A and B are shown apart, each in its own frame.
Chain A
Amino acid sequence: MAAESSQEYIQVPIDRSRPYRWSTGKYLGKLYAEAKDNKRLVTNRCRTCGQLLWPPKKVCGRCKAEAGEDWTDLGSTGSVVQYTYLVVPMWNPHMGEKWANPHPTATILMDSGAYIVHFLEETDPQKLKSGMRVQAVWREKEEERGEGLGDILYFRTIEEQEASR
């Protein structure tokens, strides 16, 4: 046989990643722009059925009609609908790098009526509960913003006057 039994076997690692670029387009771009410029979350409302769309999109999923540009401020406060404190490492979906993610993930019902998924600042499982009031904490430096929803670091628990409501 050609190969001696003690032969070294070569393994060549090939690790060339494929870079790409994607565009937010007009509707998601508006969200990105408002987040970057004004630390504001905006989305559009369907002009046919009045449904609040999230994320902002061109066509309403319910009536399949062009939703139009009725831009609405989502506000910065909401209530936790559900959460998980299983802290798993996450991947940046676009660059593939692992994120350290010390924060629980939650579905948050914004006061304006949109459900968004984001992180909670509170890491103590004992202090997490459904229905608790939270507020968005934004990246402070303008040059660090530009990642859309990623411009919000996490949602911070707030005590409110009307917390009993």
Chain B
Amino acid sequence: MTQRVEGLDVFVCDGKVDIPNVYSAGAVQSRFLIELRDNKRIVGMRCPACNVVYVPPRSTCKYCFGQLDEWTDVSDKGTLLTYTVVCRPNPVQPVEPPIVYGIVQLDGADTGLLHMIGEADFESLRVGMRVEAVYREERKGDILDIKHFRPLR
């Protein structure tokens, strides 16, 4: 636990702060996660007035503030809108670095979904490249049921 600093009467000790937390997904996000978990399907919410499909879904349209209830399936393939590469290790990241975070606009959706890009060389990443979802083997009902998006071959 404690390590002595070489040659000095100084010790360096380990500590940690536990931050237990529960994210309550709510009605709309729950259905999104359940479809992902049970059917490997990505669903969005459409606003008929504005003709906008939200992925991830939301209960209220951000343009007209209308209550939304029109579920629609979207593709698991999409376009990379932007990305960043994270190399710094950080215990709050979901996986070990290096991580590529990207925003993916799925075919049929009008908004971007924040997720990770995997199975790709950093050098080969391009804004506008085509990607597809890779699902987790054992899906548990959280957003990591999509393991990551990988370049479409």
Interface string of B75-96 (1 = CB under 8 A from A): 0000000000000000110000
Report the Cα distance A32→B16, complex, angstroms: 20
Report the Cα distance A30→B8, complex, angstroms: 9
Residue A2 contacts which of B18, B21, B71, B142 (CB distance < 8 angstroms)? Answer: B71
- With a CB–CB cut-off of 8 A, which chain A residues contact B64? none
CB pair A7–B15 under 8 Å, yes or no, is no
- With a CB–CB cut-off of 8 A, which chain A residues contact B92? 16, 18
Count contacts on A: residues with CB < 8 A to the other chain.
35
Q: A2-B69, A9-B24 are in contact. Are A29 and B10 (CB under 8 A)?
A: yes
- With a CB–CB cut-off of 8 A, which chain A residues contact B15? 19-22, 93-95
Q: A2-B68, A9-B24, A11-B24 are in contact. Are A32 and B18 (CB under 8 A)?
A: no
CB pair A17–B19 under 8 Å, yes or no, is yes
Contact residues on B (Cβ < 8 Å of other chain), bracket = 35 or more
Answer whether residue A23 sits at the interface, using C-beta atoms and an 8 A cutoff: yes
Interface string of A147-165 (1 = CB under 8 A from B): 1100000000000000000
Is the contact region of chain B dominated by helix, strand, or loop, or is it mixed? mixed
CB pair A19–B91 under 8 Å, yes or no, is yes
Residue A15 contacts which of B10, B18, B25 (CB distance < 8 angstroms)? Answer: B18
Q: A12-B141, A19-B16 are in contact. Are A29 and B34 (CB under 8 A)?
A: no
CB pair A10–B18 under 8 Å, yes or no, is no
Report the Cα distance A13→B20, complex, angstroms: 8
Q: A8-B30, A11-B25, A147-B1 are in contact. Are A17 and B91 (CB under 8 A)?
A: yes
CB pair A147–B2 under 8 Å, yes or no, is yes
Interface string of A28-59 (1 = CB under 8 A from B): 01101100100000000000000000000000
Q: Which 8 A-B pairs have the closest CB atoms?
A: A94-B15, A3-B27, A29-B10, A33-B9, A10-B25, A2-B69, A10-B30, A146-B2
A residues at B contact (CB < 8 Å): 1-3, 7-26, 29-30, 32-33, 36, 93-96, 146-148
Known: A13-B21, A94-B16. 20 other contacts (CB 8 A): A2-B28, A3-B30, A10-B24, A10-B25, A14-B20, A14-B21, A14-B23, A15-B21, A17-B18, A21-B13, A21-B14, A23-B11, A26-B9, A33-B11, A36-B4, A94-B14, A95-B14, A95-B16, A96-B18, A146-B1
